[in-house]
Structure 1
Amino acid sequence: MIKGIYETHIQVSNLEDAIQFYTQVLGLTIGQLDEARRIAFLYMPGGNKTSMLGLWEQTHDLQTRHFAFHCDKDFILHGATEFLQQNNRHPYNFLNDRSSQPMVFCWMPALAIYFDDPDGNQLEFLALLGGESRADLGVLSYADWLRHTTTA
């Protein structure tokens, strides 16, 4: 019956600035722009129109949210930090301990790195990893995850 989440929506302080960030930096494409209501609907990269992000301009009482972009593991390990820094975004890990090294959520398992959009919404690049769930390990560096899973 349910196949996944098709769309999610966030509030932004300036619709044009948000559209610029999500299209020019992250590569989403405009599906629909409703100037009268100050809403934009953006499709995820890839052109298959299977998921969408809604941007709603809110000039007061802005509420920030969190969501994750599904990505390739190699991008997270070998390009995400540099990509974010080149686009004036500060990457940080789940522990927010001043490290920009991705971490593994062992219960999934998934590799992730975080960053904020210009309005403070917490975004995440996430890649599902193969192997069994190891909730007992908590959240680890990728190197520690590999040590635990290759010796188990």
Structure 2
Amino acid sequence: MITGLYETHIQVSDLTKAVQFYTEILGLQLAHYDETRPIAFLWIGEGKKAMLGLWEQKESLQTRHFAFTCDIEFIQQHSELFLKNNQLQPYNFLKNGSSAPMVFAWMPALAIYFNDPDGNQLEFISLLEGNGQPELGVLSYDQWLELKKS
């Protein structure tokens, strides 16, 4: 019945700035902008398969979390530099001071976090091959690779 998640919405304090962030920095495509509501819809990826709605909320802003699917090579080799070059602070799930991506062994998936200008917690994530191993918890990608060799 359900085959995926098509759309999610978040609140932003300044719609114009948020649209600029999501289109110019993250590369999403503006689908529709309605100043009267005020809301903007952005396409995520190719083929209109997913959408992000940005709702301007001047008071009582509630931040959210969601993840963008990315290629493993991008996360592993380029995400940290990409984020830093765009004045975004990457961090891992453990928030232990490291900006290196981490593996959620239960999935398994490689992920790195950052915040948008309003404090919404965003994530770049890529599923890894193989079965999940929840007993391993959250670990570095190097640790994951070492364990996969064993």
SS of residue in 2 equivalent to 1:79: helix
Aligned to 1:37: 37
Paired residues for 1:52-67 under 5 Å:
52-67=51-66
Aligned equivalents of 1:149 and 1:54: distance in 2?
A: 39
SS of residue in 2 equivalent to 1:104: strand
Question: How far 1:40 sits from its partner (Å)?
Answer: 0.2
Aligned to 1:113: 112
The residue type equivalent to 1:74 in the other structure is E
Aligned to 1:124: 123
Aligned equivalents of 1:22 and 1:57: distance in 2?
A: 14
Paired residues for 1:3-152 under 5 Å:
3-46=3-46, 48-151=47-150
Aligned equivalents of 1:54 and 1:16: distance in 2?
A: 13
Structure 1 stretches of 4+ with a deviation exceeding 3 A read: none
Aligned equivalents of 1:147 and 1:135: distance in 2?
A: 16
Aligned length: 150
Aligned equivalents of 1:86 and 1:38: distance in 2?
A: 30
After superposition, the C-alpha distances for 1:90-118 in whole angstroms (9 at most, x for unaligned) are 00000011101100000000000000000
**Normalising by structure 2, what TM-score?**
0.99
Aligned equivalents of 1:86 and 1:133: distance in 2?
A: 33
Report % sequence identity.
60
Structure 2: where are the runs of 5+ without partners? none
